[in-house]
């Protein structure tokens, strides 16, 4: 049997160890510290290239960053929040942490992200909505100009979930800079990883300071432990931040390798009745995961393809099952401009392919061969 071909795993380079070693040498094994400070600075410099203001807060996870983004946006019990529908549950769960109510907005075929037309329709039904949470799926940027126009028109705050989209650009500006409050993730399978962790990003220093306050147990300035608000223990560890700093040095290299994988699938699968996950030509995805959809009307099922590839020791993953199809959100509203939900359709026809940057050309050729075998 061939060695297992995996979906996406961490790729370390050695630089990570240097920063971790420094934390050990200085015995700075705690949350906060020089690696956290530098990781924040280096990440915001990487994102903005010094062209705009971006204050970063390193945190235990992308989910915790999204949670504080929801708090900063002022979501209170019963508030409607318009959310991406086809995404990982972590995009939308934090709305519930604050007692908000998610209304899910359908995807579009061009990017697999939130459809601006469906968002406009959602605002007509819910004019009181003041917050939008948008995820860039699989590292493909959404239609930011259109989405931001609609948010501005309705006086709504945009929260960007760029957990999968670090290094992706929309019209030469990086994902994670478009919303008022944004989150990125360094979870184990993301384009770069700190083993686990995330960051909150905002152009407001005041907002960053408030999030820091919440993330460090909401301690008021007093000689004793004084609390006026509920706090959280959400800070990243200085050791973990060291891994992240080492990884950040290699992010462009990771992106280029991910793109190469996508291009090889595109080329290798071009004669089959499938399409790769689409993107707009004025955007640069990070190609975090290469995905395919089986063409409409073709009598083949992605779950059968998944099983077929698993038998050849190849790991794949279903497309994120849309949130409006999840039992936990069965009482939440869903807005679409199509007769059949685009998200449901992509979910029914799609599959995520092995996109690990350590995959060799030979291994990828084997995957392509197996997919061809499935169709013939």
Ligand X SMILES: *Cc1c(COP(=O)(O)O)cnc(C)c1O
Chain positions contacting ligand X, by CB under 6 A: 61-63, 87-88, 90-91, 135, 161, 163-164, 185, 187, 198
Residue with smallest beta-carbon separation from ligand X: 62
Q: Which is nearer to ligand X, 43 or 87 (CB)?
A: 87
135 φ, ψ to 5°? Answer: -105, 140
Q: Which is nearer to ligand X, 133 or 292 (CB)?
A: 133
Q: How far is the CB of 317 from ligand X (least distance, A)?
A: 12
Query: The tokens of 291 are what?
Result: 């995905």
Q: Which is nearer to ligand X, 106 or 269 (CB)?
A: 106
Q: How far is the CB of 197 from ligand X (least distance, A)?
A: 7
Q: How far is the CB of 1 from ligand X (least distance, A)?
A: 30
Q: How far is the CB of 73 from ligand X (least distance, A)?
A: 16
Q: How far is the CB of 376 from ligand X (least distance, A)?
A: 33
Q: Which is nearer to ligand X, 193 or 363 (CB)?
A: 193
**Whose CA is closest to 131, among 66, 82, 200, 77?**
82
Give the CA count within 13 Å in the CB-facing half-sphere of 115. Answer: 21
The dihedral built from the CA positions of residue 177, 115, 252 and 184, taken in this order, carries a sign that is: positive
Alpha-carbon span 302 to 282, nearest angstrom: 30
Q: Which is nearer to ligand X, 168 or 272 (CB)?
A: 168
Distances in Å between the Cα of 49 and the Cα atoms of 54, 172, 177 are: 10, 11, 12
Query: What percent helix, strand, coil does the chain show, rounded to 5?
Result: 40, 20, 45
Three-state secondary-structure class, residue 343: helix
Q: How far is the CB of 182 from ligand X (least distance, A)?
A: 11
Alpha-carbon span 302 to 184, nearest angstrom: 29
Q: How far is the CB of 60 from ligand X (least distance, A)?
A: 8
Q: Are 143 and 167 in contact (CB under 8 A)?
A: no
List the 80-84 sheet strands across, edge first: 55-59, 198-202, 181-185, 157-161, 131-135, 80-84, 101-105, 334-335
Q: How far is the CB of 97 from ligand X (least distance, A)?
A: 13
Strand 157-161 relative to strand 181-185: parallel, antiparallel, unpaired? parallel
Q: Which is nearer to ligand X, 91 or 290 (CB)?
A: 91
Q: Which is nearer to ligand X, 154 or 190 (CB)?
A: 190
Three-state secondary-structure class, residue 39: helix
Q: Which is nearer to ligand X, 23 or 236 (CB)?
A: 236
């Amino acid at each position: 049997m061939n060695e297992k071909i995996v979906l996406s795993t961490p790729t370390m380079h050695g630089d990570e160890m240097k920063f971790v070693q420094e934390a050990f040498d200085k015995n700075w094994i705690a949350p906060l510290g020089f690696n956290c400070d530098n990781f924040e600075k280096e990440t915001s410099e990487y994102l903005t290239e010094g062209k705009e203001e971006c204050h970063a807060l390193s945190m235990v996870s992308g989910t915790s960053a999204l949670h504080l983004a929801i708090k900063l946006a002022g979501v209170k019990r019963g508030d409607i929040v318009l959310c991406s529908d086809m995404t990982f549950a972590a995009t939308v769960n934090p709305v519930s942490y604050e007692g908000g109510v998610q209304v899910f907005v359908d995807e579009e075929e061009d990017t697999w992200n939130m459809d601006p037309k469906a968002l406009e329709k959602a605002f007509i039904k819910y004019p009181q909505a003041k917050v939008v949470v948008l995820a860039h799926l699989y590292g493909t940027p959404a239609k930011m100009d259109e989405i931001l126009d609609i948010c501005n028109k309705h006086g709504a705050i945009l929260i960007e979930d760029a957990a999968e989209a670090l290094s992706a650009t929309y019209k030469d500006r990086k994902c994670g800079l478009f919303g008022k409050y944004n989150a990125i993730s360094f979870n184990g399978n993301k384009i770069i990883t700190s083993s686990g962790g995330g960051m909150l990003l905002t152009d407001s220093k005041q907002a960053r300071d408030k999030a820091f306050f919440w993330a460090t147990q909401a301690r008021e300035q007093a000689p004793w432990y004084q609390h006026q608000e509920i706090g959280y223990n959400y800070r990243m560890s200085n050791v973990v931040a060291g891994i992240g700093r080492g990884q950040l040095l290699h992010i462009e290299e990771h992106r280029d390798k991910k793109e190469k994988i996508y291009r090889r699938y595109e080329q290798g699968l071009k004669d089959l009745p499938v399409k790769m996950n689409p993107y707009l030509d004025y955007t640069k995805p990070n190609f975090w995961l290469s995905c395919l959809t089986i063409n409409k009307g073709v009598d083949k099922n992605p779950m059968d393809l998944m099983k077929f590839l698993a038998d050849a020791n190849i790991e794949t993953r279903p497309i994120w099952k849309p949130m409006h199809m999840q039992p936990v959100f069965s009482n939440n509203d869903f807005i679409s401009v199509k007769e059949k939900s685009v998200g449901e359709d992509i979910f029914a026809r799609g599959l995520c392919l092995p996109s690990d940057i350590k995959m060799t050309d030979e291994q990828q050729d084997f995957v392509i061969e197996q997919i061809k075998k499935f169709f013939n």
